[in-house]
Amino acid sequence: MHTKIEETLGPRYSTDCIRATWGGTGSVEDASRALGFSRAKGYDLIRSGQFPCRVLRIGRKTRVVTASLLRVLESGEPEYNDARAGCRPTP
């Protein structure tokens, strides 16, 4: 089943193509395009902890988890990365 975003962006960013060609992670630029926004907007969302997919920081590189991107594309539900939300002090 193809989403409206996939129809607009073409086959390069379809879930089938992502499954077939990406490894465990993908670039922020490609993930942002698959989600329908620019690379710059993608990095802005990462900085604010609101990128809709899980993101890994490996040294100076930032990578998007492919499985998370596919879940977001298929369900339309974000998987936010706000690390502060998971680091609350215990009482």
Tell me what pLDDT residue 66 has. 95
Q: Can you say how many angstroms the Cα of residue 85 is from the centroid of all Cα atoms in its chain?
A: 18
The pLDDT, as a whole number, for residue 11 is 67
pTM of the predicted model as reported, rounded to 2 decimal places: 0.75
Exposed e or buried b per residue across 8-27, where buried means at least 16 C-beta atoms within 10 angstroms of its C-beta: eeeeebbbeebeeebeebbe
Nearest to 81 by CA among 28, 13, 39: 28
Question: Residue 81: what pLDDT?
Answer: 58
Return per-residue pLDDT of the chain as tens, 91 residues.
Answer: 455 554 545 567 888 899 999 999 999 999 999 999 999 999 999 999 899 999 999 999 999 999 999 999 998 888 875 544 444 444 4
